[in-house]
Amino acid sequence: MSIRQAMLAILEQGPMYGYQLRAEFEQRTGETWPLNIGQVYTTLTRLERDGLVEVVGHGGADDGEEAASDRQHVSYRATEAGRSEVSMWFATPVPRSQPPRDELAIKLALAVTLPGVEVAGIIQRQRSATMSSLQDYTRLKRSGRAAAPQEPADLAWSLVLDALVFDAEAEVRWLDHCEARLRRAALDRSDVRRDAPAASTTEGITR
Amino acid sequence: MRGWRPALLIAWRDALRHRGRSALVLVMISLPVLAVSAAAVLIQTAEVSGTEGADRTLGAADARVRTEGGGQVVQGVDPSRGEYAQLEVDPDDPLTAADVRAVLGADARLVPIATGWQRARLGDRVVDFSTTGVDLGDPLAEGLFDLERGHLPGAPGEVVVNDAMLAKGFALGDEMQVGGSTLTIVGVGRDATVRKYPVVLGAPADLPDESVDRREWLVAAGPVSWAQVRELNAAGGIVTSRAVLADPPDVASMAEQMGYDTGRNEMAAIVALVIVMALIEVVLLAGPAFAVAARRHARTLALIAASGGTPAQARRVILGSGVVLGLVAAGLGLVAGVVAAWLLVPAVQRFNGEWFGPFELPWLYLLAIAVFGVLSAILAAVVPAWLASRQDVVAVLAGRRGDRRPRASTPVVGVVMLGVGIAASSYGALTSDSGNGALWIAGSAIVSVLGMVLVVPVVVSGVARVSGRLPLTARYAARDAARHRTRTVPAVAAVAATVAGVVALGIANASDERQNEMTYMPNAPMGTGVVSWGPGVLPGEQAPDPDEVWDRIEAAVRSAAPEVGFQPIRGLEESYDPEGWTSTNVEVPGQDQELCCLRTYGPSVAIADSAAELGIEGDTARRVDAALDDGLVVVLNGSVDGRRDAVLSQQTYREGVDEPAASSRQTVPAELVAWDQRAYGAAPASSIIPTATAAQLDLDVVVGSARLTGDLDAATSTRIKEAVEAVDGASLYVERGYQRPDEAVVILLVLGALGGVLMLGGTLTATFLALSDARPDLATLSAVGAAPRTRRRVAASYALVVGFVGAVLGAAVGFIPGVAISRPLTSGYGGFGPDGPFLDVPWLLIAVIVLALPLLTAAVVGMTARSRLPLVARLD
Amino acid sequence: MNAVVHLAAVSRVHGEGATEVHALRSVTFRAHPGELVAVMGPSGSGKSTLLTLAGGLDAPTTGSVWIEGTDLASLDNAGRARMRRTSVGYVFQDFNLIPALTAAENVALPRELDGEKGKVARRLALTALEEVGIADLADRFPDEMSGGQQQRVAIARAIVGERRLILADEPTGALDTDTGEEILRLLRARCDAGAAGVMVTHEARHAAWADRVVFLRDGVVVDETGADEPEALLAGEAGR
């Protein structure tokens, strides 16, 4: 799972404790995928179990005041195995063979097959919603630190935003496409119904 | 033809698709073809050649033999057209009928025919007419005259006439006195050749040839061969043979036989020059349309190139449209020309004195004209085709517009050609006295025009470069013109070539007129009128009494214009008298040289008592008066003043005798007075004798003419003219200084109109092609808020750029041949006034052409251009 | 707040009889100052027709078009042209610069057409070019510029002389993503500065730059996203 590798990749830069790790992640991905601290420690524990990270020691000299519990003072570091895992991760493309479950696609697929569901309405509502988020992403893009990236972290954030934008755009285009196909299908159906008698007479004559 | 088929196919479809542009090219090319082919057909029809003319001169005879005396004759195939010359003439030993029979056989039948001129009185007028004396009843004369009314002459004294004779006032049945005998008009009809002039035909005895040594026969002797013709030539016979005309022998032309310079080379060169100039003009006019076609095809051509086509294949697409449009235009022009000629024949016949031959098509010429049309279309397409095949394929496929930069060498070549043109025309002007100066100048005109065409791109670019400060539309037009040089340059060049031609001819004409004006010799003091009288008197008639006639003339003038002064000028009686006539001269011994060369308009010796009587003014008048008061004879001359002794010599001659029957010389005291011709024009007389002196010398004094003074405006002089000319033989002349002949003005107007039309044509072509090319730009202008009339402004600016640049360039280039040709044209001696060469530049004409015409054209274009802007079209 | 452009129940029919095409059917549309509105829709949905009507390049069959409170129907051809050069700026997909004129002259075009003196027009043009960041290219001809630079010139031409309505027809269509985004940023900035913008596009990514997205299909507005009132948007902005 990607969170594992992402945390390992950040830890490659140097030892960090949990909160620090979370902050670094969020700075780079722009709070798009918020992590809760529990998730962070669960993951770290698993990584430690697998021998990919190791505990460095208790606390740094300067972060004493932030410490809330004993565990929070524990810093982690990537092991040799962890480092090779990270380079493996970067070297391997993200597989598309197993598409993530797409709720929207499933929803539409069901709507088309079930009688009494107004598919066009679903598409339109979805498109408006997607468009609104697209506008939101774009607004983020054109204002704030993503608008004029100065640091590598800002650039990283704007690229993540772009990913979201293109994703949303793809969805809108897919929705347009669905709409167009549904309309054509509807037209064809009515054509077939109208043409049917004529077709049969022609057939009769040729025989 | 391999590889041409697709090109021609594309061209043909393209021509159909772009009807407007095709029509433009068709008009440009078919109009000259139409005009020239119509002219060729008309000329061929009007020309009565060879066998066609045989019936007119020969009637039904086999030959017509004429002699003007013995001696060797050199003749061409058709001597009736003047192709003959008599080498040595012996008038006392003309060819005789026997001589003719000796050559053509003893049984040859000879019918004498005589041609000449006669006069007859009709009321108080005397009518001139030509005569043909031949037995019209003879079968050989059949075809010479076509009787329409009455009958052919049968009895002596009977004649037939043509319609022109009736138009003079004679009628069927009239009698007239000709050469002492009475002739009766018994028939009217059509003369085979002459249409406009009066002709009388009758028996040879009634209408003899007044020339003693000329004899002529119609001959019936079977076909007369060329050998027989040469045989008769040797004896002084000039022979028109039907057999020779029908089957012309291969003989050298008259001029070559005689060893003259035929002038044929020069003629051919001039024809070639005219054709080349016309070709250049047509090519330049049609060029822009092909340039636009090439641009429209740019993408096609780029695709051809991208898919492996050679430049030659790309060129063919554009050349193909030249071929297609040229063929169609030539065909259309030819057919229309022939039809136009056919329609015009009756109209043209009216202006021609001779009957035309049958309607004829000169196929060879017509073919040449058609080839000219096709050639001009192809030539017009060559440059765009060549440029199109060299286009930047990548740029075109990327959708960039605009031409390549001009090569630096092109204008250099152009400037060099202009230099050569100037040099050649200078050489032509300087050597014009000896040789083909005019040819050099005309050739240099072509070189200059071609050089100018090469300079045009640079000039157009230059105008675009300095256009930054112009108003928007003008700036746009100038820049766009420079960007699309393949379209602009030929149009500008066409305008320039036209203007150059008009300016050159204008300078030549103005200089010629200046010479005419400077060397003009007035016939009376400026603003005065002279009435002269010379009665038409036939032999045997009594001349009217001069005093009585002059009284009538004076009365007529006084009643027509009471305020005009009438001053009779008296001179010595010199009129013809069968008893003999007397000539009187005043000579100053030893002063012949100084006395010559004074031009006079009155009698050579005038009788007067005051200078005022003769209209002499100023200082000269005072001296003349003083001398006349002293009873001296005044001798006007070019340069000498002072008292001399003069001799009054008189000789009396009788008819047919060379020696004077009587002669006398009297010495008289005379005063020589120098006459300033430059200031006063011609003198009224060469010498003046006071009345008293004339009486002492016993001279016959009569009124010779009368001087009219006072306000002789056009209306008054017309009134007087009508009154005076009611008296037979009287006429009025009013001196108004040099008057430009009407036809010269008409020629200038026609020239100007032609130039204007060509200029308008060139400008319009370029402008409207530019407008259609500029569609996307105009759409953009519209989108950014241009008012609809912007299109008009752009159009007008475009016309202004094309017209103005062309006019300025053309005017400059026109100076080269214009100034040069004015030299040979005006360097001749005028006889009076300063010698040439003269040079006059018609600045007004040039200003009109360079400034007014482009503005007018721009206004026309601006007015006629649609004011709707196109919408930006985008595929959704 | 008064709309800069207001299409009131506008219909546009092209052709007649059998070839009759309803490009727009009773569309009502507004664009307010400070607002960028994107118009989306499939081919033939009437997007471009809406834009030509809003710019007064074409007249509606029924309904009326108001620009800055003036009914275009009350103007003659010349009046509409004046309106275009004083109030409306057009940006096209293929730039539509006049190749015979330099960048500055292209930008000065509307002002010069309006009768402004050459010098004044040029100064305004330079200001506009500066605004789009290519003042240094003022004296180049369109041929000598990249697509993005040409489109910047076109935008400068659309904004020169403080015009309050910018109509853009697929302004980024001929450009790559990055350059396209620069152009959108310029349009956006202009609208944030108080102009009203209408942009026709078929790319959702570009439409997202707008405050409001209008979907057209078969000449009818089928959907509209984004806050209808700019105030709400502003509130949203303020919230960040």
Contacts of C169 in chain B (CB under 8 A): 874
Lowest mean pLDDT among A107-111, A124-128, B655-659, B682-686: B655-659
Please give the biggest Cα pair distance in chain B.
116
Query: Which residues make Cβ contacts (< 8 Å) with residue A22, sequence separation at least 6?
Result: A35, A37, A40
Instruction: Please give, rounded to a whole number of angstroms, the shortest distance from the CA of C204 to a CA of chain A.
Output: 6
**Quick check: A42 contacting C, CB < 8 Å?**
no
**pLDDT of the residue at B686:** 81
Assess whether pLDDT exceeds 50 at residue A179: yes
**Quick check: C213 contacting A, CB < 8 Å?**
yes
Assess whether pLDDT exceeds 60 at residue B255: no
pLDDT tier at A1, thresholds 50, 70, 90: very low
**Quick check: A59 contacting C, CB < 8 Å?**
no
Interface test mutation site (partner C, options B778, B784, B867, B872, max chain C beta carbons within 10 A): B784
**pLDDT of the residue at B594:** 60
pLDDT tier at B149, thresholds 50, 70, 90: confident
pLDDT digits (tens, 9 = 90+) for B788-821: 778 888 888 888 888 889 999 999 988 888 888 8
Query: Which residues make Cβ contacts (< 8 Å) with residue B3, sequence separation at least 6?
Result: B313, B316
Instruction: Indicate whether this model's pTM tops 0.95.
Output: no
A134, C208: Cβ pair inside 8 Å? yes
Assess whether pLDDT exceeds 80 at residue B227: yes
Query: Which residues make Cβ contacts (< 8 Å) with residue B513, sequence separation at least 6?
Result: B740, B744, B840
A128, C225: Cβ pair inside 8 Å? yes
Q: Is residue C108 part of a domain?
A: yes
Cα dihedral: A87, A93, A97, A98 (round 10): 50
The verdict on A107 and A202 lying in the same domain is: yes
C185, A137: Cβ pair inside 8 Å? no
> In this predicted complex, what is the ipTM?
0.73
Q: What is the mean pLDDT of chain B?
A: 79
Q: Is residue A124 part of a domain?
A: yes
pLDDT tier at B125, thresholds 50, 70, 90: confident
**pLDDT of the residue at B593:** 61
Of C52, C100, C157, the CB nearest to B784: C157
Query: Which residues make Cβ contacts (< 8 Å) with residue A56, sequence separation at least 6?
Result: A15, A74, A75, A76, A77
Phi and psi at B175, nearest 5°, equal -110, 150
The owner of tokens 């008289």 is: B668
pLDDT digits (tens, 9 = 90+) for C152-175: 898 888 888 778 899 998 888 778
Contacts of B876 in chain C (CB under 8 A): 43-44, 47-48
Instruction: Please give, rounded to a whole number of angstroms, the shortest distance from the CA of B783 to a CA of chain C.
Output: 7
Read off the pLDDT of each residue in B326-333 and give the average, rounded to a whole number.
92
A124, C222: Cβ pair inside 8 Å? yes
Interface test mutation site (partner A, options C186, C206, C220, C225, max chain A beta carbons within 10 A): C225
Q: Is residue C49 part of a domain?
A: yes
Q: Is residue A117 part of a domain?
A: yes
Determine the residue type at C72. Answer: L
The verdict on A113 and A82 lying in the same domain is: no
pLDDT digits (tens, 9 = 90+) for B357-383: 777 788 888 898 889 889 888 888 888
Assess whether pLDDT exceeds 90 at residue A128: no
The verdict on A174 and A202 lying in the same domain is: yes
Q: Provide the number of structural domains found in chain C.
A: 2
**pLDDT of the residue at B836:** 65
The verdict on C108 and C226 lying in the same domain is: no
H/E element holding B21? helix B19-46
Q: Which of B797, B796, B806, B801 is nearest to B850 (CA)?
A: B806
**pLDDT of the residue at B208:** 77
The verdict on C127 and C26 lying in the same domain is: no
Instruction: Please give, rounded to a whole number of angstroms, the shortest distance from the CA of A90 to a CA of chain C.
Output: 26
Determine the residue type at B591. Answer: Q
- For residue B407, the tally of other CB atoms under 10 A from its CB is 10
Q: Is residue A172 part of a domain?
A: yes
**pLDDT of the residue at B261:** 53
The verdict on A120 and A77 lying in the same domain is: no
Assess whether pLDDT exceeds 70 at residue C239: no
Angle (deg, nearest 10), helices B789-826 and B437-465: 150
The verdict on A18 and A84 lying in the same domain is: yes
| Alpha carbon distance B207, B200 (integer Å) | 9
Q: Which of C231, C237, C205 is nearest to C40 (CA)?
A: C205
Instruction: Please give, rounded to a whole number of angstroms, the shortest distance from the CA of C234 to a CA of chain A.
Output: 12
The verdict on C175 and C108 lying in the same domain is: no
Are C159 and C190 a contacting pair, CB within 8 Å?
Answer: yes
Joined together, the tokens standing for residue C124 give 């305004």
Last-in-domain residue among A66, A91, A116: A91
C78, B783: Cβ pair inside 8 Å? no
pLDDT digits (tens, 9 = 90+) for B532-574: 887 666 666 667 777 788 888 888 888 888 888 888 888 876 6
Lowest mean pLDDT among B169-178, B394-403, B559-568: B394-403
For chain A positions 72-101, those within 8 Å of chain C (CB to CB) are: none
Q: Is B688 exposed, middle or buried (0-12, 13-18, 19+ CB in 10 A)?
A: buried
Q: Is residue C192 part of a domain?
A: yes
The verdict on C67 and C103 lying in the same domain is: no
Q: Is residue C22 part of a domain?
A: yes
**pLDDT of the residue at B335:** 93
Assess whether pLDDT exceeds 70 at residue C96: yes
C109, B472: Cβ pair inside 8 Å? yes
**Quick check: B472 contacting C, CB < 8 Å?**
yes
**pLDDT of the residue at C76:** 82
Which chain C residue has its CA at the smallest distance from B395's CA?
Answer: C143
pLDDT digits (tens, 9 = 90+) for B175-188: 888 877 888 888 88
The owner of tokens 């697509």 is: C147
**Quick check: C176 contacting A, CB < 8 Å?**
no
Q: Is residue C40 part of a domain?
A: yes
| Alpha carbon distance B790, C81 (integer Å) | 10
Assess whether pLDDT exceeds 80 at residue B50: no
The verdict on A112 and A182 lying in the same domain is: yes
**pLDDT of the residue at B252:** 61
Joined together, the tokens standing for residue C166 give 């910018």
H/E element holding B342? helix B311-349
Determine the residue type at B169. Answer: G
Last-in-domain residue among A69, A91, A113: A91
In angstroms, the Cα distances linking B830 to B517, B542, B686, B743 are 10, 41, 21, 21
The verdict on C127 and C182 lying in the same domain is: no
Joined together, the tokens standing for residue B637 give 């001359």
Interface test mutation site (partner B, options C90, C119, C124, C157, max chain B beta carbons within 10 A): C90
Q: Which of B450, B384, B294, B460 is nearest to B798 (CA)?
A: B460
**pLDDT of the residue at C240:** 36
Q: Is residue A28 part of a domain?
A: yes
Interface test mutation site (partner A, options C186, C213, C228, C240, max chain A beta carbons within 10 A): C213
Q: Which of B279, B454, B521, B519 is nearest to B378 (CA)?
A: B279
Assess whether pLDDT exceeds 80 at residue B219: yes
Q: Where are the beta strands (DSSP E) in C92-211?
A: 165-169, 196-200
The verdict on C68 and C178 lying in the same domain is: yes
Assess whether pLDDT exceeds 80 at residue A202: no
The verdict on A82 and A146 lying in the same domain is: no
List, edge to edge, every strand of the sheet that includes A74-78. A16-17, A74-78, A53-58
Q: Which of B169, B180, B126 is nearest to B535 (CA)?
A: B126
Joined together, the tokens standing for residue A20 give 């620090």
For chain B, how are helix, strand and coil distributed in percent, rounded to 5? 55, 15, 30
Residue C112, domain extent: 97-163
Phi and psi at B713, nearest 5°, equal -80, 175
Contacts of C113 in chain B (CB under 8 A): 472, 781, 784-787, 790
Q: Which of B419, B432, B384, B434 is nearest to B404 (CA)?
A: B384
The more confidently predicted of residues B835 and A132 is A132
Query: Which residues make Cβ contacts (< 8 Å) with residue B319, sequence separation at least 6?
Result: B7, B378, B381, B382, B385
**pLDDT of the residue at C230:** 41
Joined together, the tokens standing for residue B347 give 């109209």
Which chain A residue has its CA at the smallest distance from C181's CA?
Answer: A142
What CATH number does the domain containing C45 carry? 3.40.50.300
C90, B783: Cβ pair inside 8 Å? yes
Q: Provide the number of structural domains found in chain A.
A: 2
The verdict on A160 and A120 lying in the same domain is: yes
Of A132, A142, A144, the CB nearest to C225: A132
C47, B876: Cβ pair inside 8 Å? yes
Last-in-domain residue among A91, A117, A137: A91
The more confidently predicted of residues B120 and B80 is B120
| Alpha carbon distance A124, C145 (integer Å) | 41
**pLDDT of the residue at A203:** 39
The verdict on C27 and C81 lying in the same domain is: yes
The verdict on C71 and C176 lying in the same domain is: yes
Last-in-domain residue among C122, C142, C163: C163
Lowest mean pLDDT among B350-354, B615-619, B749-753: B350-354
Q: Is residue A98 part of a domain?
A: no
Lowest mean pLDDT among A10-19, B397-406, B431-440, C185-194: B397-406
Read off the pLDDT of each residue in B392-408 and give the average, rounded to a whole number.
61
Do chains A and C touch, with touching meaning 3 or more CB–CB pairs less than 8 Å apart? yes
**pLDDT of the residue at B576:** 57
The verdict on C9 and C73 lying in the same domain is: yes
**pLDDT of the residue at C19:** 77
Q: Is B805 exposed, middle or buried (0-12, 13-18, 19+ CB in 10 A)?
A: buried
H/E element holding B419? helix B409-430
**Quick check: C14 contacting A, CB < 8 Å?**
no
| Alpha carbon distance B25, B36 (integer Å) | 17
**pLDDT of the residue at B405:** 60
Q: Is residue A41 part of a domain?
A: yes
Q: Which of B862, B851, B758 is nearest to B805 (CA)?
A: B851
The verdict on C135 and C169 lying in the same domain is: no
Q: In terms of C-beta distances under 8 Å and separation of at least 24 residues, what long-range contacts does B642-646 make, across chains too?
A: B642/B671, B642/B672, B643/B669, B643/B670, B643/B671, B643/B672, B644/B588, B644/B591, B644/B670, B644/B671, B644/B672, B645/B588, B645/B589, B645/B669, B645/B670, B646/B586, B646/B587, B646/B588, B646/B670, B646/B687
| Alpha carbon distance B49, B78 (integer Å) | 9
The verdict on C173 and C157 lying in the same domain is: no
pLDDT tier at C38, thresholds 50, 70, 90: very high
Q: Is residue A97 part of a domain?
A: no
**Count of CB pairs separated by less than 8 Å, B with C:** 90
The verdict on A116 and A200 lying in the same domain is: yes
List, edge to edge, every strand of the sheet that includes C196-200. C88-91, C165-169, C196-200, C36-40, C212-217, C220-225
Joined together, the tokens standing for residue B596 give 């010559």
Contacts of B779 in chain C (CB under 8 A): 96
Joined together, the tokens standing for residue B575 give 């009129």
Contacts of C203 in chain A (CB under 8 A): 169
Q: Where are the beta strands (DSSP E) in A40-174?
A: 53-58, 74-78
Instruction: Tell me which DSSP letter residue C125 carries.
Output: H
Last-in-domain residue among C163, C186, C206: C163
The verdict on C183 and C207 lying in the same domain is: yes
C-alpha count within 13 angstroms, C-beta hemisphere, residue C87: 18
Phi and psi at B55, nearest 5°, equal -60, -30
Q: Is residue C92 part of a domain?
A: no
A131, C207: Cβ pair inside 8 Å? yes
What CATH number does the domain containing A86 carry? 1.10.10.10
Interface test mutation site (partner C, options A123, A137, A138, A140, max chain C beta carbons within 10 A): A138
**pLDDT of the residue at B684:** 79
pLDDT tier at A193, thresholds 50, 70, 90: low
| Alpha carbon distance B280, B446 (integer Å) | 9
| Alpha carbon distance B568, B552 (integer Å) | 12
The distance from CA C24 to its chain's CA centroid, rounded to whole angstroms, is 18
B785, C101: Cβ pair inside 8 Å? no
Assess whether pLDDT exceeds 90 at residue C82: no
The verdict on A62 and A129 lying in the same domain is: no
Most confident of B51-65, B571-585, B591-605, C66-80: C66-80
pLDDT tier at A99, thresholds 50, 70, 90: low
The verdict on A123 and A196 lying in the same domain is: yes
Read off the pLDDT of each residue in B510-522 and give the average, rounded to a whole number.
78
What share of chain B has pLDDT > 90, as a percent? 1
Which chain C residue has its CA at the smallest distance from B464's CA?
Answer: C100
Q: Which chains touch C (3 or more CB pairs under 8 A)?
A: A, B
C205, A169: Cβ pair inside 8 Å? yes
**Quick check: C169 contacting B, CB < 8 Å?**
yes
| Alpha carbon distance A74, A46 (integer Å) | 15
In angstroms, the Cα distances linking B63 to B55, B58, B211, B225, B360 are 10, 6, 22, 10, 25
**pLDDT of the residue at B332:** 92
Q: Which chains touch B (3 or more CB pairs under 8 A)?
A: C
Instruction: Please give, rounded to a whole number of angstroms, the shortest distance from the CA of A101 to a CA of chain C.
Output: 24
The more confidently predicted of residues B807 and C231 is B807
Contacts of C98 in chain B (CB under 8 A): 476, 777, 780-781
3-state secondary structure string across C95-108: CCCCCCCCHHHHHH
pLDDT digits (tens, 9 = 90+) for B730-789: 888 888 877 777 777 777 777 778 778 878 877 887 787 778 777 788 888 888 777 777
Q: Is residue A96 part of a domain?
A: no
The verdict on A114 and A56 lying in the same domain is: no
Last-in-domain residue among C125, C142, C163: C163
Assess whether pLDDT exceeds 70 at residue B74: yes
Read off the pLDDT of each residue in C215-238 and give the average, rounded to a whole number.
62
**pLDDT of the residue at A62:** 47
Residue A15, domain extent: 2-91
**pLDDT of the residue at B46:** 77
Got the DSSP string for A73-112?
Answer: GEEEEE-HHHHHHHHHHHHSPPP-SSPPP-HHHHHHHHHH
